[in-house]
Amino acid sequence: MSFNRRKFLLGSLAAPTFARTERTGPRPNIVLIVADGLGSWMLGCAGNREILTPNIDQLAQSGARFQNHLVCTPADSPSLATLFTGRVPRQHGIHDFLTPEPVENPPQGQAAPPPSFKNEVMLSDILSGAGYECGYVGNWHLGDERTPQHGFRFWYTLNAAAYHDPVMNWNGQTASEPGYLTDLLTAKAGVFLDQQTPAKPFFLTVSYLNPHPPYEGHPSRYTDRYAKVNFVTTGWEPPAANALRGKNYLGDTVGYTRKAAAAITALDDQIPLILAKLQQRGLRENTIVVFTSADGYLLGRHGLWTGGLASDPINMYEEVMQTPMIWHWLGHIPAQSVRNEVVSVYDFVPTACDLLQVPPPAGRNLCGRSYSLFLEGKPLPKKSRWRTVVFGQYRNTEMARDGRFKLVLRNNGNGPNEFFDLAADSHEKVNQYENEKFLLERAQMTRAIEGWRKSTAT
């Protein structure tokens, strides 16, 4: 490994600060659209030719798309917690998806957030304190779904996973809503936007369940599109020996992929509706629109179906770690911008604070950094470098991933461990952990994980 590469890896925990010019005029609004289970590989703009996502693709074309954006945890609850706080599971305390019935062997799910989670500072807390009107619509999955919290005064959240006639929490009251969940969420987001004026900035999160199970309840206008599609290019494989059967739908992989694809296209159809509402209200030009996903799914790749918990041991394949990160802001973020920098979900809070020109939360030991200069097409200051490695954590599994290599350590390095050369093996088929050719790179990335572990201990 060269000196520069070693320096990059060991310097990845440093905290570069990039000076920005103060912006004049009204403060921008922000609309954050979040999917659940949508990996980057599923999008047309990332090369998928069987799942239809024309509107997400157009959003990416009209703004900036990060090709190497990774979540910290391939499970929705801890990933959402990191998205909103900038802190990682060992800090915010949500280590797995929240469920009233967690499984002990192998460990799956977490009954509730720790009591300390109420003291976490979310982006909504920061923006609410700065005078923003904050609204949350959709899948909360961070505990106490019925109670408006963390600065959100407009509150419409999902009580339980169901696409047809769902039970919702509407500003503290339970309401049975007739119709299709995805359409209901977009309509309620429109209600929030109808209440906004250019006089006061706002932060709206629209958190869709799509394409997370269950796979029933999607309208025929979506399922019919895929009735004859066989997904020959999706890359699905026969069930893997380590697949957790209760978490997989591998008895009919093509059939369930059709249903997942329908859910994705249903989500895609919501994008122009939200943009049209912003335009109708005269809010489009001063609103940042961000599109991302809490995690990705495999849909049969590697012989697995869902995400990190689809297998025993936990996996951190690219399909579950690499998620969309698309930013759109007319007149500020250049169109057709495709960024290759390796960025993480824990960079979102620092970046949003930077663009909105509000101070990030003090004393929270954030490991993320702002990439706002990349969004605006500006170079980094001289002698400044962007870090080249991001990290992941899911229960007993940790990951380091840079532009070429990925290291996965389990049980504090006692294994089973994995090392992949993504440049030569993008589908992660050959585990190079024992290959002496990569001994130095593996050792450097191991030390980087150890350093990240220590730096995020509090």
Same domain? For 324 and 447 the reply is no
Q: Determine, yes or no, domain membership for 271.
A: yes
Q: Average pLDDT, whole number, for the chain?
A: 93
- Residue 307: inside a domain, yes or no? yes
**Cis before residue 239, ω within 30 degrees of 0?**
no
pLDDT(249) > 70: no
Question: CA-CA distance, 243 to 133, in Å (whole number)?
Answer: 44
The percent of residues above 90 in pLDDT, for the chain, comes to 90
Q: What is the CATH number of the domain that holds 189?
A: 3.40.720.10
Asked which of 341, 369, 386 is the last residue of a domain, the reply is 386
148 and 227 part of one domain? yes
Q: What is the pLDDT of residues 119-176, one digit of tens each?
A: 999 999 999 999 999 999 999 999 999 999 999 999 999 999 999 999 999 998 998 9
Instruction: Please check the confidence at residue 246 and state whether its pLDDT lies above 70.
Output: no
CATH number assigned to the domain comprising residue 413: 3.30.1120.10
For residue 328, the cross-strand partners are: 289
Break the chain down into helix, strand, coil percent, rounded to 5: 35, 20, 45
Note whether residue 22 is domain-resident.
no
Domain of residue 397, residue span: 1-16+388-458
Tell me which DSSP letter residue 211 carries: E
Query: What is the structure's pLDDT at 252?
Result: 86
Given its phi and psi angles, is residue 341 left (phi above 0), alpha (psi -120 to 50 degrees) or beta? Answer: beta
7 and 87 belong to one structural domain:
no
DSSP 48-107: -SSS--HHHHHHHHTSEEEEEEE-SSSSHHHHHHHHHHS--HHHH---S-B-SS-BTTTT
DSSP 409-442: EETTTTS--EEEETTT-TT--S--TT-GGGHHHH
Any domain includes 21: no
pLDDT for position 382: 85
Q: Are residues 396 and 289 in the same domain?
A: no
User: CA-CA distance, 78 to 394, in Å (whole number)?
Assistant: 9
pLDDT of residue 449 exceeding 70, the answer is yes
Q: Within this chain, do residues 329 and 236 fall inside the same structural domain, yes or no?
A: yes
Query: How far, CA to CA in Å, does 304 sit from each of 73, 240, 375?
Result: 17, 6, 34
- pLDDT surpasses 70 at 22: no
- 396 in the same domain as 356: no
* Residue 163 is assigned to a structural domain of this protein: yes
Tokens standing for residue 377: 């097409």
Give me the number of domains the chain comprises.
2
pTM confidence score: 0.95
Task: Say if 23 falls within a structural domain.
Answer: no
Q: Tell me which of 350, 371, 386 is where a domain ends.
A: 386
pLDDT of amino acid 319? 98
Q: Are residues 353 and 400 in the same domain?
A: no
SS3 249: coil
* Domain boundary pick from 386, 417, 442: 386
- Cα gap 224→212, rounded to integer Å: 19
Q: What is the pLDDT of residue 25?
A: 77
**pLDDT above 50: residue 186:** yes
DSSP letter (8 states) at residue 214? P
The answer to whether residue 314 sits within a structural domain is yes
Residues 396 and 379 in one domain: no
Examine the domain organization and report whether 288 and 411 are in the same domain: no
Per-residue pLDDT tens over the stretch 257-314 = 999 999 999 999 999 999 999 999 999 999 999 999 999 999 999 999 999 999 999 9
The reply to whether 70 and 167 lie within a common domain is yes
pLDDT tens, residue by residue, 355-411 = 999 999 999 999 999 999 999 999 888 888 999 999 999 999 999 999 999 999 999
% of residues, the chain, pLDDT over 70? 93
